[in-house]
């Protein structure tokens, strides 16, 4: 049996159309915009002594209903998405950004604070 990861799949060649729209994302970004996901929200932290990232899923009042722990943003996001804990694509994108920040902080041994920029030295 050949695994997909072992197969040699040619990479598609990207071409630009004659007229391509160039969108400046910074012009429409609003850091204070918040869209509540009816399935709940996430609390994210790192546990340096265990070398783990923890993600808690809450419905209200920071009461954690389910918790995931893992080593990478990729494995955490995949597990959380499979569990059907997210109903909004912007929430999934947010979770990806925040868990990746947590992973970087864990690897660099720096503080992680959810919704804050990493303080890189």
Quickly list DSSP for 85-102.
----HHHHHHHHHHHHHH
Q: What is the mean pLDDT of the chain?
A: 88
Domain residues of the chain, as ranges?
A: 37-108
Residue 88 tokens read as 């909004």
Q: Reduce the DSSP state of residue 57 to 3 states and report it.
A: strand
- Between 1 and 82, the more confident residue is 82
Q: How much is the pLDDT for 3?
A: 57
Closest C-alpha among 76, 78, 42, 75 to residue 57: 42
**Region of poorest pLDDT, from 7-21, 45-59, 63-77:** 7-21
Q: Which range is least confidently modeled, 2-16, 83-97, 103-117?
A: 2-16
CA–CA dist 108, 120 (Å, integer): 9
Question: Quick one: pLDDT band at residue 71, thresholds 50, 70, 90?
Answer: very high
81-87 mean pLDDT: 95
Give all strands of the β-sheet with 64-70 in edge-to-edge order: 41-47, 52-58, 64-70
Average pLDDT, integer, range 23-42: 79
What's residue 105's pLDDT? 98
- Rounded to whole angstroms, the Cα distance separating 100 from 9 reads 27
pLDDT band at 23 (very low <50, low <70, confident <90, very high): confident
Between CA 80 and CA 86 the distance in angstroms is: 8
């Amino acid at each position: 049996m050949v695994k997909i990861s072992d197969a040699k799949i040619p990479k598609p060649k990207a071409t630009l159309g004659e007229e391509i729209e160039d969108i400046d994302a910074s012009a429409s970004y609003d850091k204070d915009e918040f869209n509540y996901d009816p399935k709940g929200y996430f609390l994210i932290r790192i546990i340096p002594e265990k070398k783990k990232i923890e993600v808690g899923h809450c419905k209200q009042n920071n009461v954690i209903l389910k918790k995931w722990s893992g080593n990478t943003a990729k494995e955490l996001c995949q597990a959380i998405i499979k569990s059907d804990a997210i109903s909004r694509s912007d929430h999934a994108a947010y979770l990806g950004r925040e868990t990746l920040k947590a992973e970087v902080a864990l690897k660099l041994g720096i503080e992680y604070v959810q919704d804050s920029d990493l303080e890189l030295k």
